[in-house]
Amino acid sequence: MQKLSDRDLVDRAKGGDTSAFGLLVRRHQTRIFRLAVHLLRDRAEAEDVTQETFIRAYRALERFDGRSEPYTWFYRIAVNLSLNMIRSRKTQRVAGDTDDPRLDAIIHSSRGGTSPLDDPGGQAGRRQMYEALCAGIDELSETLRTTLIVVCIDGRSHEEAAQVLGAPEGTIAWRVHEARRKLKQFMEARGFDLEGDGT
């Protein structure tokens, strides 16, 4: 049997096939959870956001017009729910996983594509660097932080991020550049040389 596309599954779910929507959830829940964890830095909140994302998507199935891929629709819902949760917090939490190798993507130089963490001698400082990096990400504006996470950590293209975040691709590219620039300054002020050249 041919594997059904996400759009096929949405069409079937609109027709009342709940198992089709269940398959969509299984396909995308890990991605949505990972995105929420990086935005919220709290696993319990990320689980709540993931569950609520699919509940809201299911309730709004009839309004899904197919102009974007279903997964970008799920991403948009998850980003909005995560940002609402962050805004509703009375105190900022400093929790979550800081030893995630995907964070390497943020500190890779756009010029050389290498990280000081590629050096085996640098492995000992990995956790310390990640903790500083997470603190730096938390210091970014909501817009820069969200764009950086969607593109650099979650690996979405500029085109996909533009659909998810509702901004032109050029704006997405500028936000990523600006977020990396600010992170580099933040890290250098704390003694981390992200270019790995010892300067």
- Would the pTM count as exceeding 0.85? no
Domain boundaries, the chain: 6-88, 101-189
pLDDT for position 89: 74
b/e map 149-182, b = 16+ CB within 10 Å: bbbbbbebebebbbbbbebeeebbeebbebbbeb
What single-letter amino acid sits at 155? G
d(CA 92, CA 90): 7
Contacts of 45 (CB under 8 A, 6+ apart): 36, 85
Instruction: Please tell us whether the domain made up of 6-88 is placed in CATH 1.10.287.3510.
Output: no
Residue 20's alpha-carbon distances to 11, 26, 27, 74, 156, in angstroms, are 9, 10, 11, 15, 25
At which residue do the structure tokens 């050096």 appear? 119
Tell me if domain 6-88 and domain 101-189 are identical in fold. no
pLDDT of residue 36: 93
Per-run averaged pLDDT (10 residues), the chain, 199 residues? 84 92 94 92 93 95 87 93 84 50 52 47 67 87 93 90 93 96 92 62
Query: Hey, what CATH class is 101-189 in?
Result: mainly alpha
User: 162 and 156 in contact (C-beta within 8 Å)?
Assistant: no
